[in-house]
Amino acid sequence: MRTSKKKPQYKVGSLFAGMGGFCLAFANEDFKVVWANEKDRFAVETYAHNFQATTMHHKPIEDLSVVADDLGTVDVLTAGFPCQPFSKAGVKLGFDDERGRAFFEIIRLIREFGNDRPKILLFENVQHLLTHDRGRSFSRITQEIQAAGYWFMPNQNTAVLNTKTHTEIPQNRERLYMAALSWDHFRTNVFHFPDPDPATIDYRTYLDLDQKAEDSFYFNDDSQYKKLFEESIDAGDADSIYMLRRNYVRENKSNTVFALMANMGDGGHNVPVIQDTWGIRKLTPAECLRLQGFAKDQFSFPSQVSRIQQYRQIGNAVTVPLVQKLAAECRRLLDERNGK
């Protein structure tokens, strides 16, 4: 990871670290990621491959302890906590879902730090969290963050940011970001979220269209999905991105890519599909990595991680350049506090 002697190297801890999107974004802004936590063993393999200097605690957050695991004090704590309980898809159980209760484990850990609690919290989840259970779920989250000692007002400290409008990457990916500032370190709760960026690049520049992909990415004549895609492409724009959702094919007519999903490697559904010179195929993991902002010279998958797991980890990740803008704002606030 890149470091700079000219900037103070503030420290970061990452919960639900996944394959390391938050961590890479903060490292790119010259933060030092000192520890991370993730329970998925495949994601841990990927993380350890790319962040060898960071201590990874491979265990469920329920088993993580500030004292027992010797979690060092950090300036910023990041967490993309489980979104399935609050998503529009599924049964929407919220805090009645074990995964939904993981949020309270974050609060427990913050309290375990005592007076050394993180100065800034940066959380990520789905937009629907704001309105889940008629807003009651988010009201509870607000109360818990405030009670833990942080400035946090929904109208000032939250923003729904879309990759396609806040970076040059053409992926239609909306996510809710929440930033909270410690009462002990900041006099106000002013966190500046990034403004929209109109410089979105043509999605085709992120794809390998000048060379044939591996045969396994193409739909062959025996595929139950090939006919569906052929009919949709013939009726639409051959240069568009397509996606099979349940029993119909959607065309993306906005020169962008559908939001990359964790289940896009499980079969024919929910994976972006294109037609190139050689046939109709799925986007490759390498292409999906680019569409999440993971630079080839900074990140790679270890050889033992399967293609299905690669897709899953990419779909669960954050878009690196977008979070990097939030990391830059964290640095600005910390520098301002320290008189830099």
Q: Which residue has the higher pLDDT, 218 or 128?
A: 218
With CA atoms as reference, report the closest residue to 87 among 127, 141, 134, 122. 127
pLDDT at 340: 64
pLDDT at 172: 94
Q: How many other CB atoms are there within 10 angstroms of residue 53's CB atom?
A: 9
Sorted by sequence, the CB contacts under 8 Å of residue 98 that are 6+ apart come out as none
pLDDT per position as a tens digit, 48-100: 999 999 999 999 999 999 999 999 999 999 999 876 655 666 555 565 566 66
Q: Which residue has the higher pLDDT, 337 or 277?
A: 277
- Mean pLDDT for 197-222 is 92
- The owner of tokens 């010259």 is 30
Tell me which H or E stretch contains 162.
Answer: strand 158-162
Lowest-confidence pick of 174-183, 216-225, 273-282: 216-225
Q: Rounded CA gap, 146 and 140, in Å?
A: 10
Above pLDDT 70, what percent of the chain?
92
CB < 8 Å & 24+ apart, contacts of 156-160: 156/189, 156/190, 156/191, 157/181, 157/189, 157/191, 158/130, 159/193, 160/127, 160/130
pLDDT at 306: 95
- Mean pLDDT for 212-227 is 92
- Mean pLDDT for 233-252 is 91
pLDDT at 3: 44
pLDDT at 186: 94
- Of the segments 14-18, 100-104, 248-252, which one has the largest average pLDDT value? 14-18
Phi, psi of 311 (to 5 degrees): -60, -45
CATH 3.40.50.150 holds for 11-197+312-337: yes
DSSP state of 265: T
Residue 137 has pLDDT above 50, yes or no: yes
Specify whether the CB–CB gap between 75 and 334 falls below 8 A.
yes
Do the bridges between strand 257-258 and strand 171-172 make them parallel or antiparallel, or are there none, so unpaired?
parallel
Residue 36 has pLDDT above 90, yes or no: yes
Specify whether the CB–CB gap between 38 and 13 falls below 8 A.
no
Domain boundaries, the chain: 11-197+312-337, 209-283
pLDDT per position as a tens digit, 91-126: 555 655 666 678 999 999 999 999 999 999 999 998
Q: How many CA atoms lie within 13 A of 244 on its CB side?
A: 24
Catalytic residue ranges: 83
pLDDT band at 4 (very low <50, low <70, confident <90, very high): very low
pLDDT at 188: 85
With CA atoms as reference, report the closest residue to 109 among 143, 158, 61, 154. 61
Q: Which residue has the higher pLDDT, 89 or 133?
A: 133
Specify whether the CB–CB gap between 270 and 185 falls below 8 A.
no
Q: Which residue has the higher pLDDT, 246 or 338?
A: 338
Above pLDDT 90, what percent of the chain?
74
- Mean pLDDT for 31-52 is 98
pLDDT per position as a tens digit, 257-312: 999 998 887 766 788 999 999 999 999 999 999 999 999 999 999 999 999 999 99
